[in-house]
Amino acid sequence: MNDNSLFLGLSPHADAVKSLSNENLELLDKTVREILRKNELSAFQEITFDADPNTKETVDYLNRHILHKNINTNSERIILDLSEEDIEALYRCSQAIKDEKEKRQIISPLNNAGVDKIKIPAGWTLEEDEKGRAFLNRNGKVMFEFKHNWTNKYKYFKVMWENYGQKVDYKIVYEFRSKLIYPEKGVSKFNSNMRNTINKLRKEMKHLPIKIKTSKGFQLLIR
C-alpha cells in the first residue's frame, strides 16, 4: 500500500481514511493480514489487560468481523468495507499491538546482549537441599534453601536468580531449562498461572530483604 488513493477512490468513508497517513494505512493493512493468518490472537489476549477500555471492544469487533473471513480475502477490500467507527477501532488495536510488541522487546533479556549483568551481592548464595525448603541466615550470610525438585516456584525463582537484576518475560520463564516450547497462541492462561505462582513466591519471601518486581516483566532485586 504505497498511497491512499485507492481508499479515497473506493471507500464510502473517505473522510475517515483521509486523516490517516500512509504509514498508518500500512499498519492497518498489516494488522488485517496478520489477523487473517491468526498470528495476532495471543497479542490481542495480552493487550486487553493493559490497554485502554476501548481495546476490549476492538478485540470483540475483530473476532466478529475479520477472523471468520477466508485467509485469501483481500485485506484492502476488508478495510474499504469498514465504517468510520470501525476504522478508528482497528487503528486503536493496531497501535496497541505495536506498542505491546515494543514493550516485550524492551523487557526481554535477549535484547540486552553485551550488557554486563548486575552481580548478586556478596554473601548471597542459593543452595539446593534435599531436606526441604527454607530461608536461613547463617553467620550473617543469607542463604536460600529449596527442596531439590522442579516445582514451579523453585524454577521461577532460579530463572530470576540467574538473571539477577535483569527483566525476564513470560517466554523466558516458561522455557527455562526445560523442553517446553512457549505456545504461539492461547498464552493468557499460561501467563496467568506463571504470574500467580510468582506472586505466591513473593509472599513467602516478604520477610527477606528481597524484592521480586512483576511490572513489565519479572525482576529479582536484593535490597
Could you tell me if residue 165 is left (phi over 0), alpha (psi between -120 and 50 degrees) or otherwise beta?
left
Say what the pLDDT of residue 174 is: 92
pLDDT, block means (10 residues), the chain with 223 residues: 41 52 73 62 48 56 60 64 71 72 54 64 78 62 76 91 91 90 87 92 86 88 84
Name beta bridge partners: 213. Answer: 219
CA 7 to chain centre: 33
183-212 residues labelled b (16+ CB within 10 A) or e (exposed): eeeebeebbeebeebbeebeeebeeeebeb
Q: Is the dihedral of CA 27, 30, 36, 42 positive or negative?
A: negative
What the block records as the C-alpha cell of 169 is: 518475560
**Structural domains of the chain ordered from first start:** 5-107 (no CATH), 125-222 (1.10.10)
Q: Which residues, at least 6 apart from 195, have a Cβ–Cβ distance to it below 8 Å?
A: 214
pTM of the predicted model as reported, rounded to 2 decimal places: 0.50
Nearest-angstrom CA–CA distance, 176 and 181: 10
Nearest-angstrom CA–CA distance, 87 and 82: 6
Say what the pLDDT of residue 197 is: 93
Nearest-angstrom CA–CA distance, 199 and 126: 20
State how far the alpha carbon of 27 is from the alpha carbons of 6, 60, 91, 123, 207, in Å: 16, 19, 8, 51, 48
97, amino acid identity: I
Say what the pLDDT of residue 75 is: 67
Say what the pLDDT of residue 160 is: 94
